[in-house]
Every structure is written in structure tokens, then in C-alpha cells.
Amino acid sequence: MQKLSLNQSLQQKLSPQQIQFIKLLQVPTAELENRIEEELELNPVLEEGADEPEETDTRTEETPEAETTESATSEDIDIKDYLRDDDYNSYKTYSDGDGDDEEDREMPIPMGTSLHETLMTQLGFMGLDERRHAIGKQLIGSIEGDGYIRRDLESIVNDLAFSQGIETTLEEVEEILKRIQSFDPAGIAARNLQECLLLQLDRMDDGQDVDVIVGKRIILECYDEFTKKHYSKILKKLDLDDEEFIKDAIELIVRLNPKPGGELNTGMAKNQYVIPDFILTNNNGKLELALNSRNAPELRISRSYTEMFKAYDKSDKKDKKLKEAVSFVKQKLDAAKWFIDAIKQRQHTLLRTMRAIVDFQYDYFLEGDETKLRPMILKDIAQMINMDISTVSRVASSKTIQTDFGVFPLKYFFSEGIATDSGEEVSSREVKQIIKDLIEGEDKKKPLSDDKLEDLLNAKGYNIARRTVAKYREQLNIPVARLRKEMR
């Protein structure tokens, strides 16, 4: 049995303009130019460039038809708001720069020989027949950007059979691989790090260098112990009784290149530049914040489209085709105004949020001393600017600021707090810096364990647990004490 019921619910829906603003707010300055170019292509009413000077209308008489037709039936399009010059003249982005076009120049493209091209050139010098040359080409094509072949040779044998109709064997492919592994740079086409290090040591081996000979034995016979820095086990396996016998060999191994493919360019690519969203300068103790809007060109509404509205305003408004054209332009004009408004609102929100962050971390921004960073979470800034936490989060994601002491992502300045003996809260960033300083100053023969770091921090007044020390150490990409041990 069907029943008819009435339910009352409260829903919140975002307008198209709000959705557009949210999307633009997340876009960093480096990508904003592409987003604006997309909008310029989609909307013919939107133009790039400064405002054109207004034309003075010398006519003093107004045609009475414009007044009568403007108040016609409800089906007519209300265009009075689109005929005012001051409306579309005011639609342009804020400019913080001086109009210098230097940044508009195309980024330089480094010219160089790719790794693949270098290896193919060396393959050509091998004098292989057509079939074996094709096998070598397949192997070179399987080398990744860091110089390794991670695809197993059996799969490469199958690739040659199915894609090129070349019947070969695992032994033949491996024999050609050995030849490629003799190419420059040393260590190229290795299948793992162990093989890569051995290939480089083989190039140094003249049968007389003791360090090279011992180094090869360490990699061949004690590789697992070497990676875990179990030096005592290495000595036992090699039947040695003094660390001095392996010290120089280990130093030699550590200096080898673990990514031989990185020595050459992997191709021609544009240089990657970090384009900061904000620029902060210290002017004699006064912090000055500017929004980098160089990649957001000035935008305006195309003046030529107003002529269509004027023609329509003076017509009998019964021409169906003209009315459809004006309706289409009106939609595009609304979209253009929405877009420019969203750009303006984005800039305003970015500056307002960043000013609050600078005020909160003022002492840090004066000198760049990490120990002066205060604990700060998204909620702190949201309350300062009276905005939602999600808005602050969107501003902080993928945005950067250029300071006198480096370029930093905004997320860098947000951190949790840790209590001290005095009852104050300090930033976890400050604690991380102290951990880093302690490890840098430790005796590398007896590196500090997490327990020892905990004791030292507690002695300095920081109430911190060992698991928190371990978490911060891992966030700093510092290995455990055993892996930091060095032979002196």
C-alpha cells in the first residue's frame, strides 16, 4: 500500500560561483595561468589585457524607442545592467607587480642528449648484426630513468617473440645485456643495487687495489650485512679481526653512484621552477607581504559585445535570431563576470589568510629561526580571519611563500604543540630541529638511540615520549642509530 508523506529537510547547496571560487582557491600560482587560458578559450566574452579607454558619446539625444522597448513584455531580456560602461571596465584582476613583462618570457629548455640516445650510440659501435642489434635495442628500451632494468629477462624474451618476431634465448639476451652493462655510465643496466655496485667496482679493479678487492668481497659475500651496517658480522665472514681492514673499502663503496641513469638527462624538458604564491620581505624590521599575481593577467569584458546589446536595445526585439544571440552572449557575460569575481575573491582570501599566518608567526619570519615557530593549527588561523577551517586548508595546500631565507610551503608553518616543564607549549618543529642538531653532533661511532634522545630532550624540559621521538626522526628522514654508525 502506497503512502503519501511530507518530509521537511534542511539542505545546503553551493552556487556555481561558489564552486568556481573553491576550485580556484586550491590552484597554486604556477597553474593559475593555465586555468585562465582555458576560460579565455571557452568564453569569447572574456579578454586578456588592460582596459581600453572609454569612448565619449557626442550624441546628446536619447531615442525614445530605447525607453519604451526596454519596459516591454516580461519575455524580453533585461539588458540595462549590461549597457553601463563602468560595470565591465571595473572587472580586472588586482596587480601587485610593476607590469614588468620579464616573467612572461618562455622558460629555457635545456638541450642535451638523453640517456637512451647515449646508449643507442654506444650500441651502434658494437658491430652487432641486425638481429642482435634489435635485442640490444629492446634491452635499452627497458632501462628506466635511474639506469636500472627491472623487467625480468624472460619477459623481454617474450616481448621480442611477440612484438618483433625474434626468437631468442635467455642466455643470448643475458650475453647482450652484459655488453650493454659495459657502456657508460658505469653501473648502467643493472638489475638491482647489488649488481650496480659490483659493475662499478669491476671498472676499478686492476687486480692490485686492495680496497676494490675487499669492496667486491663485501658486496658479493656480505651484502645484507653491509646494508644493515653489521660491521662485526662482515669481519667474521671475511675472517678479519680489525675494522681498519674494511674501513677504506666501505668508504669506497659509499662513494659509488646508486643511480647511474641520473648522470645524464632523461630527455629534453623544461626547467622546473618553484613559483611562490606570496613574497615576504623584511624592510628594516617591518615585514611586507605581497601576493604574486604575475601569472594572473588582467582580464576584462569584451567591449565589442556591448554593441550587440545596444543594437538589440534599439530594435523591435522581435527578431528571434537576434534575441537568441543576445541570450547566448548574456550567459557568457555572466560567466565572465563570475570568473573575474572569483579571481578577485581568491586573491583577497589568499592575502587575508597569509597575513594572519605572518602575524601568528611574526618572530619566526623576522629571523627564520625554527626554534621561534609557535604551535599553530588550521583552527587558529580560521578563528583569526573568521573563516571556515576548510577554506584555510585550501589556501595552505600547494601554496608557497618566498622569504629572505628561502621558499617554504605554507604547510611548513603548521605544527602541533608539545608541553614543557614550565607549562608552555612549543612547536613540534622546534623539537624536530633540536633532534636534528643532537644527531648531527653525535659521535658517529656510537650514535644516539631514540631512548637516549628522549632522555636528552626531557633533560632540556621537553615532555616527549620515545615513540614521539621515533616519529619525528622518521619525518626528518633520519635512519635508526644502527644505520647511522660510521667507521672512523
**DSSP-derived secondary structure for 333-388:** HHHHHHHHHHHHHHHHHHHHHHHHHHHHTHHHHHH--GGGPPPB-HHHHHHHHT--
- The residues that bridge with 46 in the sheet, in sequence order, are 301
* pLDDT at 482 (0 to 100): 79
* pLDDT at 326 (0 to 100): 73
d(CA 174, CA 179): 9
* pLDDT at 294 (0 to 100): 60
Maximum mean pLDDT: which of 15-19, 76-80, 258-262: 258-262
**What global pTM score does this model have?**
0.52
Residue 270 has pLDDT above 80, yes or no: no
Is the distance from CB of 83 to CB of 310 less than 8 angstroms?
Answer: yes
Maximum mean pLDDT: which of 18-22, 308-312, 476-480: 476-480
The stretch 273-277 carries a mean pLDDT of: 75
* pLDDT at 354 (0 to 100): 93
Residue 45 binned pLDDT confidence (cut-offs 50, 70, 90): confident
d(CA 395, CA 33): 17
* pLDDT at 11 (0 to 100): 57
With H, G, I as helix, E, B as strand and everything else as coil, classify residue 100: coil
Residue 52 has pLDDT above 60, yes or no: no
Tens-digit pLDDT profile for residues 217-226 = 888 888 888 8
Residue spans of the domains in the chain: they are 15-53+75-102+271-414, 115-263, 417-484
Tens-digit pLDDT profile for residues 385-415 = 998 888 888 888 878 899 988 888 888 888 7
Residue 15 binned pLDDT confidence (cut-offs 50, 70, 90): low
Q: What kind and span of H or E run contains 21?
A: helix 16-26
d(CA 226, CA 1): 77
* pLDDT at 391 (0 to 100): 86
Q: Is the dihedral of CA 423, 424, 429, 434 positive or negative?
A: negative
For the CA atoms of 307, 311, 312, 316, what is the dihedral angle to 10 degrees?
180
> Could you give the percent of the chain with pLDDT greater than 90?
11
E strand residue ranges, 248-360: 278-283, 286-291, 299-301
Count Cβ atoms below 10 Å from residue 388 Cβ, excluding itself: 11
d(CA 210, CA 64): 104
- The residues that bridge with 415 in the sheet, in sequence order, are 376
C-alpha angle 183/184/186, rounded to 5°?
95
d(CA 375, CA 381): 12
* pLDDT at 487 (0 to 100): 65
Q: What value does the mean pLDDT of the chain take? A: 77
Distance of alpha carbon 154 from the chain centroid = 37
Write down the CATH number for the domain with range 417-484.
1.10.10.60
